[in-house]
Structures are given as C-alpha cells and as structure tokens.
C-alpha cells in the first residue's frame, strides 16, 4: 500500500467509524456516497444498509477539527474528482453519477460506480486513484 493509499485509508476508516457512530449502527452497515450536482460539484452522503440517510461533509466525520494528515484532501482530489470522467465515459449527465463505498476491515474500501440507480461496475480505489 502506497503512502497516499495509507493516508486515504486512515481518513476513510475514521469517517466510516464516526458516521456509523452518528447513525447508531455497526460500521459494516454504513456506506459513503459521492455524488455530483448539475454543475459537477462533488457532494457526500451517508447510507445505512444501502439506503441513503443524509448529506454529510467529510470534514465533520474525520474526528478532529482539521485532518492534519491530508487524507481527506486526497479523497477530495482523487476519488471525488472522477465524476466528470465517469460521466464522459458513460455518456451520462454528471448528476447521474455516484460512487458508493463500503467499509472493509482489511485493505481499501469496496466501491461501485453507479449511473442513476444502476451499478455499472466495481471500482478498485487503490489501483484507479491512489498510486
């Protein structure tokens, strides 16, 4: 695992654990979604058992007033920036694109690319974004 992957994994683990705590469920029951408004701005939301619960700000779930590791910025500038490319690849409006991530105890998250409500394919977060 590269250093950048380690930063992202550490921040994502904190986000998932704090989101699960906020929702009152086990960490395996939450998913983190990245979606895009019509202008292409990235937004984040929390899911519980694959049901969208609420919009969130990543920084609110890192567990500190500021993520000094830089992990959340890695997430925002790599994974979350992929929406425009996926929209172009799928010939879909960016507002139809979502990236849904699920917690894994070992390794990076499981992730899926969604177009509307349909899963297009799995995403390898480390291979595709964090090398």
Structural domains in the chain, CATH included, are 3-129 (3.30.500)
Higher-pLDDT residue of 69 and 12 is 12
Answer yes or no: is pLDDT of 68 > 80: no
Answer yes or no: is pLDDT of 89 > 90: yes
Say which residues have a Cβ less than 8 Å from residue 34's Cβ, sequence separation at least 6. 42, 43, 44, 79, 80, 83, 98, 99, 100, 101
99: β partners: 34, 113
2 by Cβ neighbours in 10 Å (0-12 / 13-18 / 19+) ranks as exposed
Answer yes or no: is pLDDT of 127 > 70: yes
* Predicted structure pTM score: 0.87
- Min mean pLDDT across 3-7, 11-15, 66-70 is at 66-70
């Amino acid at each position: 695992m590269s250093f950048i992957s380690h930063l992202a994994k550490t921040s994502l683990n904190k986000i998932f654990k704090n989101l699960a705590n906020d929702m009152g469920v086990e960490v395996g029951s939450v998913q983190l979604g990245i979606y895009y408004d019509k202008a292409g701005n990235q937004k984040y939301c929390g899911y519980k058992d694959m049901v969208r619960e609420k919009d969130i700000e990543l920084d609110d779930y890192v567990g500190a007033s500021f993520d000094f590791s830089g992990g959340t910025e890695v997430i925002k500038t790599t994974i979350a920036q992929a929406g425009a490319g996926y929209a172009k690849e799928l010939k879909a409006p960016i507002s139809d694109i979502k990236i849904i991530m699920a917690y894994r105890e070992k390794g990076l998250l499981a992730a899926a690319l969604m177009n509307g409500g349909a899963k297009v394919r799995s995403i390898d977060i480390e291979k595709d974004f964090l090398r």
